Amino acid sequence: MNRPYNFSAGPAAMPEEVLQQAAAEMLNWQGTGMGVMEMSHRGKAFMSIIAAAEADLRELLAVPEHFRILLMQGGGLAENAIVPLNLSRGGAVDFVVTGGWSQKSFKEARKYAMPQVVASNEADGHTTLPAPAAWQLRQEAQYVHLCSNETIHGIEVHELPDLRALGSEAPLVIDFSSHVASRSVDWSRVGLAFGGAQKNLGPAGLTLVVVREDLLGHALAICPSAFDYKTVAENGSMYNTPPTYAIYMAGLTFQWLKRQREGALSGVAAMEQRNTAKAELLYGFIDQSQLYLNKVAPNCRSRMNVPFFLRDESRNDAFLAGAQARGLLQLKGHKSVGGMRASLYNALPLAGVQALVDYMRDFEQTQA
Ligand SMILES: *Cc1c(COP(=O)(O)O)cnc(C)c1O
């Protein structure tokens, strides 16, 4: 039986092989007589699971030695507070606001730091990417916040800015929640990257932080100990009980990612090629159609989240009902934007995008 294609923005589809392996191991993980949810996080079995997950992730994302990988809880929204608590020293922080998520991050940072918006695309309804050369970066900024993929507005930063070339010594902090592991990361341009797992890595409950070592140890006195990056790092992400089952599921996903191939490419490079093909197929169809519309400037369109509209919005419900009937799930757009949104995360194959495009074409023809 084929499962339907799931276009959810998150929590999102997971690779079927991963779900099947988790099901097979649910009652008895590798002969231990226990399911992973039932194990002590300090026992030998779970210690091997978390060590493998971290090593696989380091390999997949090519994380350099001088970065630490932290497996935390709280999600992207908690990081909106945890990052300023750890990095701002209560001082100036520069924010690039490109959509709903960076806007939220900016508002939360006000509680702990003195953030300022140094570039924004609000005037054009979050459809363009302000050119880095025009960002009003400040010398005194402790870091620069950028959401590298705006999940709601469908804007992706295809090339991370080189802040040093722009005259700033501040580390770049990226929220890569919704495109982590969909493409490579240029770590030479990043100080810290954070993301919730539930878009592209695994189930909700796990939060990934990749942080350059020199940024540890500067937390404000009010920072909760469990959220002090230095404490988390020194305890191997085990200061408090980590989200053990979510880590296990993400670990299975990392193994799945390592097995993926596109020609000579493997892992994240293979995913990048596949994701590019998926996005080109969908945007290419939308752009030639008379019914559908994507408003984002072509140079910053997200490969992961494609918001689109029907020019005749009275057809929205019929479109969604027809999609559901064809096994194309969760296409409704975010409430703040409306319309539709197709999220094309790693677990969604090219065939899923082809099925969506076939449906969209048929639906458009019935409207003519
Ligand atoms: C989903 C998402 C978040 C929020 O994650 P939570 O786990 O709900 O806190 C933050 N940033 C981006 C870019 C996201 O896509």
CA distance 88 to 82: 10
295 and 181 within one domain: no
Q: Give the residues surrounding ligand 1 with Cβ less than 6 Å away.
A: 10, 75-77, 101, 147, 151, 175, 177-178, 196, 199
Q: Choose the residue to mutate in 97, 153, 156, 177 for probing ligand 1, maximizing ligand atoms within 8 Å of C-beta.
A: 177
Task: Single out the residue in 217, 238, 258 at which a domain terminates.
Answer: 258
Q: Are residues 309 and 205 in the same domain?
A: no
Cα of 195 vs centre of ligand 1, distance in Å, is 7
pLDDT at 78: 98
- Residue ranges in 211-325 assigned as alpha helix (H): 229-234, 244-259, 267-288, 316-325
Q: 198 and 269 share a domain?
A: no
Same domain, 320 and 240: no
pLDDT truncated to tens, each residue of the chain (368 aa)? 689 999 999 999 999 999 999 999 999 999 999 999 999 999 999 999 999 999 999 999 999 999 999 999 999 999 999 999 999 999 999 999 999 999 999 999 999 999 999 999 999 999 999 999 999 999 999 999 999 999 999 999 999 999 999 999 999 999 999 999 999 999 999 999 999 999 999 999 999 999 999 999 999 999 999 999 999 999 999 999 999 999 999 999 999 999 999 999 999 999 999 999 999 999 999 999 999 999 999 999 999 999 999 999 999 999 999 999 999 999 999 999 999 999 999 999 999 999 999 999 999 999 86
pLDDT for 7 equals: 98
Domain boundary among 258, 274, 308: 258
Q: The pTM is what?
A: 0.98
Is-contact 98 150, C-beta < 8 A?
A: yes
Q: Is residue 49 part of a domain?
A: yes
Q: What is the pLDDT of residues 1-50, one digit of tens each?
A: 689 999 999 999 999 999 999 999 999 999 999 999 999 999 999 999 99
Q: Whose CA is nearest to atom 10 of ligand 1?
A: 76
Gap from CA of 349 to ligand 1 centroid (Å): 23
Q: What is the pLDDT of residue 2?
A: 84
CATH number, position 317? 3.90.1150.10
d(CA 82, CA 87): 8
- Closest CA relative to residue 201, chosen from 329, 71, 305, 352: 71
Q: Whose CA is nearest to atom 3 of ligand 1?
A: 76
Residue 2 lies in a domain: no
- Number of continuous H segments (helices) and E segments (strands) in the chain: 9, 16
Residues 6+ apart with CB under 8 A from 228: 85, 86, 219
State how many domains the chain has: 2
Query: Domain check: are 251 and 306 in the same one?
Result: no
Type of residue found at 350 = L
Q: Is residue 152 assigned to a domain? A: yes
Could you tell me if 119 and 136 are in contact, meaning their C-beta atoms sit under 8 angstroms apart? yes
Ligand 1 centroid, distance to 267 Cα (angstroms): 24
Active site residues: 101, 175, 199
Considering the domain architecture, whether residues 153 and 198 belong to the same structural domain is answered as yes
Is the distance from CB of 76 to CB of 177 less than 8 angstroms? yes
Q: How far is CA 128 from the centre of its chain?
A: 19
pLDDT, one tens digit per residue, over 234-244 is: 999 999 999 99
Among 236, 258, 280, the domain boundary falls at: 258
Domain range holding 72? 17-258
Closest ligand 1 atom number to CA of residue 196: 7
